[in-house]
Amino acid sequence: MNRTREEERRQAEALHLLPDERDREIETAARGRSGSVTLALSLLFSAACLLQGSGAWAAFLALALAGGAAQCFHQYACYRERFYLLPALILSAAAAGLGGWFLWTLQAAGQLSIGRLALFALLCCLLVSLAGLVTLGLFLLWAWIKGLWYKKDSDRWEQYFQSISTLGFLARLSALVSAGIALTAAVSYPLFAALGFPTPLRLSLVFFAGGWIYIFLKFHRKRDLLAAKLLRLKKRS
């Protein structure tokens, strides 16, 4: 069933893919609420680790302080008042100190190497780029298979594309992205094992979960731009 651009736009607005002013206000309030929950849980876990004698309390407290520093820096950037700059510097210095102390204790205990941690971060950045290339390859493969199915008939291909709703196209794109991340995570397992990382399977699962969260948040922030570009490809009537 082919839909016009206006019909697709109404559906996208109903699904909040094209957010209006009220949607943006709700998203801003939701981000504030999520920040408050993250802060409360970080302090709670920090206290629990401290009571249990675990050094992880410093990491959770550093996370809470870093969140407060980010908020103060943002307010300073908006208001340009030194009242917000001083606490931002203090909180960021405290967060860096606690985080550095936590990493130093792990390295001193032989549980973690700073170089190995930096290598893991670098590999994750490279794997994210690889996941993007794999997703692009899967998309081109899907388009090629569809082209063979329709025997490269441009009219039939245009009719097929116009029959896909914006939501349907986003669902197909999400499936391709998930497949790309899964394939990259599968490749990361032997890579982590070859480089001598402990528990390479867990690291691969962490990369898969982290990649999914990263893609979801990026799509959520830019969904209006993506939906608008897809709507331009639809016929007006």
Q: What is the pLDDT of residues 143-172, one digit of tens each?
A: 888 777 766 666 776 676 777 777 778 888
pLDDT for 96 equals: 93
- In order of 15, 168, 170, 235, the CA distances from 157 in angstroms are 27, 16, 18, 14
Encoded tokens for 3? 């839909």
> What is the torsional sign of CA 66, 130, 209, 28?
positive
- Rounded to an integer, what distance in angstroms lies between the CA atom of residue 228 and that of residue 223? 8
How does pLDDT run across 68-111, given as a tens digit for each residue? 899 889 888 888 888 888 999 999 999 999 999 998 888 877 76
Helix (H, G, I), strand (E, B) or coil at 33: helix
**Range name among 30-39, 153-162, 183-192, 200-209 with the lowest pLDDT average:** 153-162
On whether the CB atoms of residues 138 and 179 are closer than 8 A, the answer is yes
Query: Which of 30-34, 182-186, 193-197 is the most confident on average?
Result: 182-186
Q: Report the distance separating Cα 209 and Cα 194, nearest Å.
A: 21
∠ at Cα 188 (182, 191), nearest 5°? 160
Nearest to 112, CA basis, from 124, 103, 123: 103
What was the pLDDT predicted at 48? 92
Where is average pLDDT lowest: 2-16, 52-66, 192-206? 2-16
Give domain limits for the chain.
1-112, 113-237
Mean pLDDT, all residues of the chain:
82
pLDDT tens-digit series, residues 197-237: 888 898 899 889 888 888 888 887 777 777 777 777 665 54
Whether residue 20 contacts residue 3, with contact meaning beta carbons closer than 8 Å, is answered with no
